[in-house]
Amino acid sequence: MTEMVYGAVPVRDVEPVLPKWWRTIDKWSISSVLILFGIGLLLGFAASPPLAEKNGFAPFHYVQRQAFFGGMAMIAMLMASMMSPLLVRRLAVIGFVVSFVALALLPVLGTDFGKGAVRWYSLGFASIQPSEFLKPGFVVAAAWMMAASREINGPPGLSWSFLLALVIVAFLALQPDFGQASLVLFSWGVMYFVAGAPILLLLIMAGCVVLVGSFAYANSEHFARRIDGFLSPDVDPTTQLGFASNAIREGGFFGVGVGEGEVKWSLPDAHTDFIIAVAAEEYGLVLVLVIITLYTLVVVRSLLRLMRERDPFIRLAGTGLAAAFGVQAMINMGVAVRLLPAKGMTLPFVSYGGSSLIAGGLALGMLFAFTRTRPQGEIGDILRGRVR
């Protein structure tokens, strides 16, 4: 009778949050991330005691800090993955604005910790690297602009996002941090390609990147030194690249044994930028292949899920986040085996670092939120419907 008088009562989705999240999340990808974090802790037990001894800390001081920051990262990842795409976009844009302001103020308030690049804010008990949090925020903001440009009478989002990327790259180059700058440009280029950019335009942009790289080589001693070291046919065995290359060779297929590696005593960044060298020396090629497989699994499964997504914003943002995650891992491992110049970039969820762990957790949480299963038609069905 009530329905006859007042109309049908709308049915609400009352499924609890946790069961709905578990039903729609990509369990293979989230399990891969948890395994990567576990491998990072395992390698931390091997790589961090020498540095802790050198700095006067307890042997597993850095492992405890990695477990703490990693726990925060896992919580952030799970919480972000439970959010709706709309809420993720709003919070990511706010985070991007805050991170961008922090990045712009680095030359005034930041510190280099004696490494020659002003990338951090020192809080005394910890440090924050704004560029780590800027990357996922930029990807989401740029995807929002690109998606908005497809709407009727929409803003010129493609141009806005490109100008924004150039501004960010300029700030990163001033630090200097060419690794993060290249990652921002690559993420934007992938999203622009997915958004329908012509190949000719992308080739022109690649040419511009080469020209900018040549200018940086001629005017930046920091950049030129790294490029010269990469191009040199001989590797100085007393450099970080020399120690890492030797450790990877010594590891062979099965490694020299747990705790038997020597590279951790020689490399100051064995627990961060060159953690893969520790893995290769002590556990061999087997563990390295496992790590590569886990990264590949997350990226490929995310992209396959995004291919079925018909919302252009979700598709673009998810693709950008997956590309940034995969390429950062590729760059870190490529540097260790001398396939790429030294970049000073961590291995996601494996290397030690508070900012990189927490920012990585937020980025993957947003990616998992975008790739959750939602009731919608296949994108192919939508395209075929338009053709008819």
pLDDT in tens, 1-46: 444 444 444 444 567 888 888 999 999 999 999 999 999 999 988 8
Q: Based on the number of CB atoms within 10 Å of its own CB, is 155 exposed (0-12), middle (13-18) or buried (19 or more)?
A: exposed
Q: Identify whether the C-beta of residue 49 lies closer than 8 Å to the C-beta of residue 59.
A: yes
Question: Does residue 86 lie in a domain region?
Answer: yes
CA distance 40 to 80: 22
Count how many domains the chain has: 1
Mean of the per-residue pLDDT values for the chain? 84
Strands 121-122, 127-128: pairing is: antiparallel
307 pLDDT above the threshold of 80 = yes
Q: What is the pLDDT of residue 229?
A: 65
Q: Is residue 286 part of a domain?
A: yes
DSSP summary character for residue 268: T
Give a yes or no: residue 388 inside a domain.
no
380 belongs to a structural domain: no
Of 77 and 235, more confident: 77
- Cα torsion 285, 288, 294, 297 to 10°: value is -60
- Under the banding of pLDDT at 50, 70 and 90, the label for residue 238 is low
Mean pLDDT, to the nearest integer, of 164-188? 88
Residue 381, pLDDT > 70, answer no
Q: Is residue 381 part of a domain?
A: no
Rounded (5°) CA angle 55-60-65: 90
Q: What percent of the chain is predicted at pLDDT more than 90?
A: 40
Which range among 216-220, 242-246, 340-344 shows the weakest confidence by mean pLDDT? Answer: 216-220
- 270 has pLDDT over 90: no
| Predicted pLDDT of residue 51 | 80
Predicted confidence (pLDDT) at residue 49 exceeds the cutoff of 50: yes
379 lies in some domain: no
In a domain, 387, yes or no: no
Proportion of the chain above pLDDT 70, given as a percent: 87
Within a domain: residue 9?
A: no
Range of the domain at 79: 17-372
Locate the DSSP E strands across 19-145.
121-122, 127-128
